[in-house]
Structures are given as structure tokens and as C-alpha cells.
Structure 1
């Protein structure tokens, strides 16, 4: 359901434009395969929070099979990957997992996702390129 209602980036050009054109909000892109169960679960979470975060974040989806342009550059090997950009800059977040470049697991808790986006946005507005997640995910279970 979520993947139908959130905007899709259909080409590398569209991804670049989404990242470059947003001046004041955090750009959140979910990379993955639209039909993948993990992506569908994540998309549902993202869809449910999209309205609540619209003042400071915009959420897009990108099917990495349809748009393979970034698979190597962003190391998109996981079933679902969420990345964050602010003013054309990749924003990193320390989730306690050892991978600061992206969120690469399914997060179903809407408030946790909102907290993460707010934390990254606040850090980005202060000029930081790396922020610390409001929660440590080092002990989370892999799917």
C-alpha cells in the first residue's frame, strides 16, 4: 500500500534531481525492490509518517532493479536501504551498527522512524554530516 502512495524516482536523473532540488528539507530515499516483503513493510512505515514529517522531510522510493545507477556507489546490497540527504549532501547517522551510511533493516515503529528523521534533520541544519541515532540499534536482530 505504502509503495503505491509514495513518490517513485524512476531514473538516476530523478534521484539526482530529488537530492539536489530540495533546499530546506531532509530527502529520504528508500532503495530496494518494490515487490520485496522487507521493502513493502518499510514503505508502509514511511507512508504512515510521511504526512507527519512533511515540514522537514520528503520521502521517495527507488527500485534498485529499475534504477541500478546507485547500487555500486551506495553499496545497495541489502533488501532494503534508507538513505538521507540534505542540501545535496549525504547525511550519515550512527545507529550503533557499524554502518553509518544508511539504515539497512526494516523499522516498523513509526515513532522511532520519526525520531531518526528529526535527529538527522536537526544535525543537518547545524551543518553536521554525521549524527548519532536517538537509539542504539547494535543489538537488533537481522531479518
Structure 2
């Protein structure tokens, strides 16, 4: 089931283009599978929030099953789904949510307002020139996961 409102990117060139062409807005890229239940739950939240954040953010989905996006999947070490990556003016934005990995948000958001709050904090931080911002959500609303490192 593909999202009706959000574009689904399946090629490296599409991802490159949206990263480079999204100016003065946060770019939210959700990496996941269109058949995964957690991805569908997150997609529902993203679709419901897209209009609310449209003045300061653009949201797109990336299908990790496409062979043509594996360069991004490998670069960001995306092994857990869904994983959400944030950019601002083609710069990767990091989010300190108290987890070991600041490069991405792993898991789904509990509710629409949580997503909006995170994107707003990233936008405000980016407008001040920051490359990493602190997550505004309380610890109990941040997904917990175990990082698995390859070849360790």
C-alpha cells in the first residue's frame, strides 16, 4: 500500500534531487518498507502531519527494497525499520534523543504532535546554524532499540 499524499522515492537520483532542491525547509526522509506494519503506522502519522509542517518541512518516503537506494541505506547504516533521516539545505541534521545513534530516528512516533515537535525543533536549530539538536520529547516517548554492529 503506497502513500497517497507523500511521494515514495525508489531511485538514488530522486533522493539526491529532493535533498538538493529542498531549500530553507527540513527534509524528512522515512526509510522503510511499504509492507511493514510499523512503517505503515509511521506513514499514517507523517501523512496526517504533512500539511501542518508544510511551511517548514517536506516529507517523503524511501522504499528500502529498491536496489537503487542501497547506497543511502548503507551510508546511514539503516538496519532497523522505520528509520527517519532529517536534512536542512542539503545538510544532514542530527537529533540527540538520548540514544546511541544521533544520525536518525529509529521507530515510529507515538502521536502526530510528537513528530511535529521534533521537526519544529530541527527547523529552529537549523535556522540558528546548529547541526545537532536535542529531542523535545520525554524519554518515555522515545523508542528504545538495541544497536547491532556488524563485524564487532
Which of the five TM-score ranges fits, normalised by the shorter chain? over 0.9
**Residue 36, structure 1, aligned to residue 19, structure 2:** no
The list of structure 1 runs, each at least 4 consecutive aligned residues, that deviate by more than 4 angstroms after superposition, is 138-142
Report the CA distance shift for 1:2/1:132 in structure 2 as closer, same or farther (over 3 A). farther
- Structure 1 counterpart of 2:22: 22
Corresponding residue SS for 1:118: helix
**Residue 129, structure 1, aligned to residue 131, structure 2:** yes
Contact 1:2 1:46 in 2 (8 A): no
Corresponding residue SS for 2:83: strand
Q: How many residues align?
A: 143
Identify unmatched segments of 5+ residues in structure 2: 146-152
- Give the drift of 1:9: 1.3
1:20-58 C-alpha deviation (Å, 9 max, x unpaired): 111111000000111111110100000000000000000
Q: TM-score, normalised by structure 2?
A: 0.87
RMSD: 1.8
Q: TM-score, normalised by structure 1?
A: 0.93
